[in-house]
Homo-oligomer: A and B are copies of this chain.
Amino acid sequence: MSKAAVTIYDVAKKAGVGIGTVSRVLNQSQRLAPETRARVLQVISDLNYQPHAFAQGLARKKTFAIAAIVPFFTGYFYVELLKGIQHAVSKHKYDLVLYSVDDLKKTGTYIRRALQERRVDGVLLISLKIPEKYSEQFQGRKLPLVLVDASHPSHDSITVNNKDGAYRAVHHLLERGHRSIAIVNGHLESIPAQERFAGYQKALQEAGVEPVKDLMLSSDELEGEAAILNDGFNKEAGYLAMQLLLKRKCTRPTAVFMASDIQAMGAIKAIREAGLSMPDDIAMVGFDDIELAEYLGLSTVRQPMFKMGEQAVERLLCLLNDPDAERRHFRIETELVIRESSGQIRTLES
């Protein structure tokens, strides 16, 4: 109940040893008389002493904390990821400092802080593009960095195979007999959006289906406040895009690939409001496999997000021990989950 925190000096004095010795028992040093160690340990326990993280950090030049810089979590994707991260971090007895970026313009500020404040030993940068300027600084300072859901040649990264995932989604729709397949994408500035678009195109091309410009929508073309937010992967954007699609009376698609489940939610609402039904009037495949997808009977492309988070941390911790390790780029494969929204096999009618 003492007011002032107990320090290593208090322990040393009470145990009748020097502070060096106390420090040694703290750091599991080998060269110690078992008897001395026991005595010190006893005092530590009596005094309820615990080392001061900042003092240790300063002396050791090691913080035992890592930072995760996340775009202000829009939803399930980041939550699952964070769970995985937290799980791994905690397992290794590290602390997690969370920087969440509310305004993408300010990404640099957060990176700069994580980089220069030396509050953490390493950084996880999630779904965010790293400016070249900072990329160099990370290398210069040898501060380990792992990119998650993004990549850069100079840094380790863990990404989902977005292109292949999208390819599988659209391929599945083609197999079901659809030929007029739309895509509703997030902002095209976002890398995942670009990759998913590429997968969409590849599948169509392979099947010899001519891409139709009117069937390719992305959030940046939309009007409406909410749709513009962040990366354009949101409910509102999906809703608006689907409304647009449904207006195209003559060229209305029979199926649509939604670049995210959350957009799919909005789209489904628009379909219902239009008095149409899914999958009969329009089939759908999403991306993410958020918790809700199963509930909605939405076919989708599942990303193993928790695992990604864990893996990112594991990799980062490797880098901490060996900062000169070679760069590695992990690519995690997706899984197509087929539910009701993809409908039955369609006989051709064209």
Q: Which residues of A contact B (CB under 8 A)?
A: 1-3, 5, 48, 50-55, 57-58, 63, 65, 72-73, 75, 79, 82-83, 86-87, 90, 95-100, 102, 112, 116-119, 136, 140-142, 235, 265, 269, 291-292, 295
Contact = CB atoms under 8 A, between A and B. Distances in A.
Contacts of A295: 265, 269, 292
A118 B52 contact: yes
Contacts of A118: 5, 52-54
Contacts of A79: 73, 79
B86 A50 contact: no
Given A96-B97, A98-B98, A54 B141 contact: no
A1 B140 CA distance: 6
A97 B100 contact: no
A116 B58 contact: no
B97 A5 contact: no
Contact of A65 (B97, B269, B291): B97
Given A51-B117, A87-B102, 8 more contacts: A50-B117, A53-B117, A54-B58, A54-B119, A90-B99, A95-B99, A95-B119, A269-B295
A112 B45 CA distance: 13
B63 A54 contact: yes
Contacts of A100: 83, 86, 90
A136 B1 contact: yes
A284 to B, nearest CB: 15
A269 to B, nearest CB: 7
Contacts of A1: 136, 140
Nearest to A62: B54
Contacts of A119: 53-54, 65, 95
Q: 7 smallest A-B Cβ distances: which pairs?
A: A50-B116, A53-B117, A53-B119, A54-B57, A86-B100, A54-B54, A54-B58
30 contacts: A1-B136, A1-B140, A3-B142, A5-B116, A50-B112, A52-B118, A53-B117, A53-B118, A53-B119, A54-B58, A54-B63, A54-B118, A54-B119, A65-B97, A65-B119, A72-B86, A73-B82, A75-B291, A83-B100, A86-B100, A87-B102, A90-B99, A95-B97, A95-B99, A96-B97, A96-B99, A97-B98, A235-B291, A265-B295, A292-B295
Contacts of A3: 140, 142
Given A53-B119, A119-B53, A292-B292, A83 B90 contact: no
Contact of A52 (B53, B97, B117): B117
Contacts of A48: 116
Contacts of A141: 5
Contact of A83 (B52, B58, B73): B73
